[in-house]
Chains A and B, each alone.
Chain A
Amino acid sequence: MLELQHISFSVPAEAGAKTEILDDINLKISERFVAITGPNGSGKSTLAKIIAGIIKPTAGRIIFDGEDITDLSITERARRGISFAFQQPVRFKGLTVKDLISLAAGEKISVATACSYLSEVGLCAKEYVNREINASLSGGELKRIEIAEILARGTKLSVFDEPEAGIDLWSFNNLIKVFEKMHEKTQGSILIISHQERILNIADKVIMVADGKIAAEGSKQEVLPMLFGTISGGCRVTEVNG
């Protein structure tokens, strides 16, 4: 469904040198749940933004459903079926939760429909549907509203940039249920950038990014031992019987 071919992204550094954020990334994503993980600053969020069209790669092509979308705008990619949930949701003065869910759904929706999406992310819908997306909402509330918008979009590919941040009051189990339900409905792929072991555990494929390169790719059984080895500084985590 989604293929990244030789994707690189660099920014100019001092004295004419370049800093490589991403270096020749090649990926195919067609599984149900795909998780991208890796240390902070490894380039994960940049990769997600390149898929959504927010950042243009300095080299490489992006193929979505057989079409080269490298030169398409954010809007055109969204309309072709790519959704993106921000790591830090954006606030708006005046726009309400219902306004944003309606825009996400692409049509005027009833209060009841908006409420059903909010209930799925564990928000008491009546209290939220007419709230403004402004500073009165907490980071965790905004994250869940962001997920409700992606549910309302129901696209073939949904990209979540660290969805677990700030949702500790809710639970990971619920978040995972939302992802499962989303897949049931869209039959598409869900790409999740995450550090959370419990989220990585549900992934059909785990991709580890380090220093702008793919350090490992495979099933969670293959990648997770390496991953936790890397993060804990070379100390491999092994399961001990008994």
Chain B
Amino acid sequence: MLTLIGKRLLFAIPSLIGVVIVTFLLTRALPGDPAAYFAGPAATKEAVDQIRKKLGFDKPLIEQFVRYTNDLAHGDLGTSLTTGQPVAAELRNRLPASAELTLLGLVVSIVIAIPLGVLAATRPGSWIDHLCRVTTTAGVSLPVFFTGLVLVYVFYFRLGWSPAPLGRLDVFYSTPPTVTGFYLIDTLIARDFEAFRSAFSQLILPAVTLAIFSLAPIARMTRASMLAVLASDFVRTARASGLSPGKVIVTYAFRNAMLPVITTLSMVFSFLLGANVLVEKVFAWPGIGSYAVEALIASDFAPVQGFVLTMAVMYVLLNLLIDILYGVIDPRVRLEG
């Protein structure tokens, strides 16, 4: 197992180096001039040049790159110009916000999509199959910001059930001391149950928005994979042996149908983590997606590079985790790996 992990990590190094070079070049190729942008609305040419010098953008590209990689080797991702904070610290603060939201969204989605997919597969052509098809199609075809806005409109603005979409905590609660960065866990550690409730109720709408969007791939994949497995010989054998339908489906069929579902889950998770920008915007969620987009709009190089690099590392780790999970679920994969 350890050699497998070591090997996989070793393979990731060239791709990470590639990511560093490409993001560096890409951000430099952006049309905007950060110096002109940050010199403010009333700057003269001299003021812009002064700022460019201060930011080090007057140096040749190679020199900038050497300095960037050198900083990177020391764990310094640079400083964001739009927020004025070190990028590493901001990513550290914002990643848990995105991760907490995405994980909860994914959990909600799994809890709905997998049973739905399984049911649809056991009764193809029935009303539950149609229900599965309709919900997933609707979920995936509604843009997330639209779903988010409708939910806010109905549950906050009209009904008043949901708290104000003002980020992770209500304005009048103070942030729990950071242990994991996940407010749901941190508030419990701090035994601040009122804050836990606030954090949880703030999470519901954005998590549901994400869940609706990610229902489709999970439910469809579960259904397809279950259908294939249910048609296979060993399920027929199990049924013929008189095992209860529950046991056949859950113990035999479902476990075998899990592999493609797990793969889809990992894809959906990494996709949601980076791509829930719109949900973050709608719910004023201080996550990494909105951070990266804002930086991009302002030609703020450091956060964009930091974001892409973080995402690349996350992808590598996630893929590793999934590979290990494969082995746990299906011993045959372990032998081959």
Binding between chains A and B = no
Residues of chain A at the chain B interface (Cβ within 8 Å): none
Chain B residues near A (Cβ < 8 Å): none
